[in-house]
């Protein structure tokens, strides 16, 4: 385990499990409960078999996030045309799946050119070779620990080995003078498995049903943070 001790932990609740009829209220509540980022899942019924929300809704919640980042997870194909729309709608991070873009390097540059942090997302079966030539263009790497499209699925255990592999790549990149890159995990993250996920090298944790399914958001977020940090205490 090579994650630096005291590495900051970022908790990013996924709005997919929030009450969509009260979205602004849900965003304010989860941030007041201690969340860091708001994870915003964009599905197009083409790249994934589900349909969610677009830039208009992102712009609407921007009014409720204050200085917190909106972490836009694009599950759409193609990608490029929608990037500027989300940048204008207030996205802080924009991540996409490499196999959904014809020109990955160009899409990464497009995201940064629009003033956002850029991320690449890997499905459970997507190989890591997509990282080989773009490490300097990344602010975040997101490993899916479920197949994308739905909230409430179970964490796929082989993600832990994949996280360790990416952590090694990031540490090697930073040791060679490269920029920091956050390592995010998305799908089936809960208070009772976050410690082993953090031990495998993740520092940024998406959780939808674990938080929005519960009556006390603050209690869940506090427990997740405590469990994730416990990993750094040995």
Binding residues vs Zn ion (CB under 5 A): 41, 73, 186
Identify the residue among 110, 135, 138, 210 touching ligand DX5 (CB under 6 A): 210
Distance CA 128, CA 163 (A): 10
Compute the radius of gyration of the chain from its Cα atoms. 16
Smallest gap from residue 2 Cβ to ligand DX5 (A): 26
CB atoms within 10 A of CB 2: 11
| Total residues at interface with ligand DX5 (CB under 6 A) | 21
**Contact map string, positions 6 to 25, toward ligand DX5, x by CB under 6 A:** --------x-xx--------
Enter the tokens of residue 67: 């200085």
Can 216 be counted among the known catalytic residues? no
Enter the tokens of residue 121: 């997302």
196, interface contact from ligand DX5, Zn ion, none, CB < 5-8 Å by kind: none
- The residue (of 144 and 181) whose beta carbon lies closer to ligand DX5 is 144
State yes or no: residue 207 binds ligand DX5 (CB under 6 A).
yes
Can 186 be counted among the known catalytic residues? yes
State yes or no: residue 138 binds ligand DX5 (CB under 6 A).
no
Peptide bond into 21 cis (omega under 30): no
**Partners of residue 184 on adjacent β-strands:** 142, 204
Smallest gap from residue 148 Cβ to Zn ion (A): 7
State yes or no: residue 191 binds ligand DX5 (CB under 6 A).
no
Contact 16, 38 (CB under 8 A): no
Distance CA 205, CA 215 (A): 20
Catalytic residue among 36, 41, 71, 139: 41
State yes or no: residue 44 binds ligand DX5 (CB under 6 A).
no
Give how far Cα 63 sits from Cα of 22, 40, 68, 148, Å: 14, 14, 11, 27
**Partners of residue 183 on adjacent β-strands:** 141
Smallest gap from residue 136 Cβ to ligand DX5 (A): 26
Interface positions with ligand DX5 (CB under 6 A): 14, 16-17, 39, 41, 73, 146, 148-149, 151-153, 186-189, 206-210
Active site (catalytic) residues? 41, 186
């Amino acid at each position: 385990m090579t994650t630096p001790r005291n590495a900051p932990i970022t908790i990013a609740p996924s709005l997919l499990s929030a009450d969509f009829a009260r979205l602004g209220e849900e965003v304010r509540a989860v941030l007041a409960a201690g969340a860091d980022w708001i994870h915003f899942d964009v599905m197009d019924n083409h790249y994934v078999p589900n349909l969610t929300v677009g830039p208009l809704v992102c712009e609407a919640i921007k009014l409720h996030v204050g200085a917190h980042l909106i972490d836009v997870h694009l599950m759409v194909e193609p990608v490029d045309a929608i990037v500027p729309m989300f940048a204008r709608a207030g996205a802080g991070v924009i991540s996409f799946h490499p196999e959904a873009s014809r020109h990955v390097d160009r899409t990464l540059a497009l995201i940064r050119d629009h003033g956002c942090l850029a991320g690449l997302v890997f499905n459970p079966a997507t190989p890591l070779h997509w990282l080989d030539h773009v490490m300097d263009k990344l602010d975040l790497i997101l490993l899916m620990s479920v197949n994308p499209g739905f909230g409430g699925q179970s964490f796929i255990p082989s993600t832990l080995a994949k996280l360790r592999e990416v952590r090694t790549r990031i540490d090697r990149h930073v040791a060679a003078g490269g920029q920091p890159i956050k390592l995010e995990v998305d799908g089936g993250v809960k208070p009772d498995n976050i410690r082993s996920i953090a031990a495998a090298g993740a520092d940024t944790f998406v959780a939808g049903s674990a938080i929005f399914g519960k009556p006390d958001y603050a209690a869940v977020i506090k427990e997740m943070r405590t469990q994730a940090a416990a990993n750094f205490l040995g």
